[in-house]
Copies of this chain bind each other. A is one copy, B any other.
């Protein structure tokens, strides 16, 4: 294996202006990376082809060689299963004639004579360059499984053979390789090496834009590729990122600023520059606020300055409320002043096609090392410092969830939900056009922010997928990250020359990358909000044993359904615990799991059953189903749950509890009561509490802290 053999081949093709490597070149590239491809030889005439076939051994396949023909089979350029010299001669003439019929101008370079692969399962291994995540490797069952069932999986390249082995087991049809119908399992090590090798090849040689090994035949004794297809192209320029230390330092100044200036501050109600100053004041920011406005001496009781350069003290953050065209000029002054961050509320940049205006603005920022949030955003909140640097509403629901959104509307949904549903927040950040600051910068800061325990992100596109995955991978081990990727379905598969490219619907790659990053992926805005709240409210479960205690048998069934849907494991209740539950509940109730205490029971039955579950260390999480009755009214239930939880907490028994409350409208008040006391509770719903608990499990498993 000589990996250095690859570069000259790729460079020659590029020098000749070709994007496709020839089959012979592709085979050489593969062999340089120990990727097994069937034995082959090139032949420029029929007799050379016969000689090649004899040296390889019959049966053989013949494939036309021409840089001008990219889909050989469409051009009639392939003949398979040739058994003797005569068949090879005939086939040679046919593929030449077919190729010219297909494209009269094609330059033909003879044929490739290949050994025929000897059966086994057909799979596909490929790689592409994704604009967001860079090199990505794909694996799938080949043929109709790939083309019809799209049973493929992706991972960011490179992958180790171990990770490749795990990828292989992710496809739906895995059992087909592992030995369905009593067949011997395929040689997984050999196949994993191929996947890993492809991923290393495209990583080492970034000019490889697309690569298909298709088909690869895998058998119990090995794997071999029959056809290799390689497309080369430009290497995307790398992105310059500040060092991690520099990121954290400027984020520190942004979130804990010594002072905040408002460029374009206004005394006129209804103006954005007015709202920002108002919100900073009403929000209670303790440091100095410097309105900047050349025409006024005082704004909302604060001394105003004609320019930021006139401010006598240090300024860490400048919030912009001036038209887009004036931003670059003002930013220049911020640079001279030594401002750390510019919060660009104005729109009118790249989002409306004014890309140059944005680029020019960013050039100024880079010159001075100013980090830019936005443009085209609502601003940001950081509650530990009482910062409401936005034109929306002042906000004071302090807590530990840090949220960001690429859309102002979603940002406002976060504000409203968190206020209404008691989700305490540390930060809400608008990212808008992401001209500079983006999710990975925020992650670097939140990682060590003692005020943040949970990170929730609404994302439309990730600018630098690798930086995001790199940061999220580290941070998600310490703090849960929930991501809602919007624009999931609209983007279909891209037009691409390779099978792998055609199968790379952007969302499948996003999904693979987000999994690798260890984030909890929310399906909807509702999930993002619900799950972030649950992750901030609930303690970490110490194991997989989930128990349902319900007053309504019907709710128990629905809650069980949802547990199955969301991958929660209903505990098998040990006999002694089961017997203890039986003692508490009426004879027509049901022990097992769900524990159905039945609807006619007084508060004491709920209390005893929940206490029993909380006190038993074999139970790791609790789902409560409440049924509104006159005997145990909603608020009585809510209060008793709170009491039992307090009691258990005092005894050191801390575990996640969620609740579903069904009944008349009074259950809504009971849910609010429970929410305020750390129990995510939902009226008229059985799926949402379970999904919320499942998000906690998903994260806990990811951290490796789940025993067993």
Please list 27 pairs of residues, one from A and one from B, whose beta carbons are closer than 8 Å in the complex, sorted by A's number. Answer: A147-B180, A148-B172, A148-B175, A148-B180, A348-B588, A352-B587, A391-B630, A392-B664, A393-B664, A407-B554, A408-B554, A412-B627, A412-B663, A413-B684, A416-B663, A416-B666, A460-B554, A460-B557, A486-B561, A487-B557, A487-B561, A489-B560, A490-B561, A524-B562, A524-B685, A525-B685, A525-B687
Closest chain B CB from A140 CB (angstroms): 13
In the complex, which residues of chain B have a beta carbon less than 8 angstroms from the beta carbon of A622? none
Answer whether A415 and B663 are a contact pair too, CB < 8 Å, given A552-B409, A630-B275, A686-B524: yes
Residue of A348, A525, A557, A562 most packed against chain B (CB within 10 A): A525
Closest chain B CB from A662 CB (angstroms): 4
Chain B residue at smallest Cβ distance from A393: B664
Q: For the complex, is A79 an interface residue (Cβ under 8 Å from B)? A: no
Instruction: Find out whether the CB atom of A407 lies under 8 angstroms from the CB atom of B552.
Output: yes
In the complex, which residues of chain B have a beta carbon less than 8 angstroms from the beta carbon of A416? 628, 662-668, 683-684
Closest chain B CB from A75 CB (angstroms): 14
Instruction: Find out whether the CB atom of A665 lies under 8 angstroms from the CB atom of B420.
Output: yes
* Further pairs besides A419-B664, A486-B557, A488-B561: 16, Cβ < 8 Å: A144-B180, A147-B180, A148-B176, A270-B630, A407-B553, A407-B554, A409-B554, A409-B662, A410-B554, A412-B627, A413-B683, A413-B684, A416-B664, A420-B668, A489-B565, A525-B684
Chain B residue at smallest Cβ distance from A73: B182
Instruction: Find out whether the CB atom of A554 lies under 8 angstroms from the CB atom of B458.
Output: yes
Give the number of residues in A that approach B within 8 Å (Cβ atoms): 80
Give the number of times this chain occurs in the complex, counting copies. Answer: 2
Q: For the complex, is A526 an interface residue (Cβ under 8 Å from B)? A: yes
Q: For the complex, is A536 an interface residue (Cβ under 8 Å from B)? A: no
Closest chain B CB from A374 CB (angstroms): 14
A176: which of B144, B417, B552, B562 is its contact (CB, 8 Å)? Answer: B144
Q: For the complex, is A199 an interface residue (Cβ under 8 Å from B)? A: no
A173 to B148, CA, bound (A): 6
Q: Could you list which residues of chain A lie within 8 angstroms of chain B, going by C-beta atoms?
A: 143-144, 147-149, 151, 172-176, 180-181, 270, 275, 347-348, 351-352, 391-393, 405-410, 412-413, 415-417, 419-420, 458, 460, 486-490, 523-526, 529, 550-555, 557-558, 560-562, 564-565, 587-588, 599, 625, 627-628, 630, 662-668, 683-688
In the complex, which residues of chain B have a beta carbon less than 8 angstroms from the beta carbon of A176? 144, 148
Chain B residue at smallest Cβ distance from A587: B352
A598 to B180, CA, bound (A): 55
Answer whether A662 and B561 are a contact pair too, CB < 8 Å, given A417-B684, A525-B684, A685-B526: no
A529 to B662, CA, bound (A): 12
In the complex, which residues of chain B have a beta carbon less than 8 angstroms from the beta carbon of A407? 552-555, 557
In the complex, which residues of chain B have a beta carbon less than 8 angstroms from the beta carbon of A147? 175, 180-181
Instruction: Find out whether the CB atom of B526 lies under 8 angstroms from the CB atom of A409.
Output: no
A550 to B667, CA, bound (A): 33
Answer whether A627 and B663 are a contact pair too, CB < 8 Å, given A487-B557, A588-B347, A684-B417: no
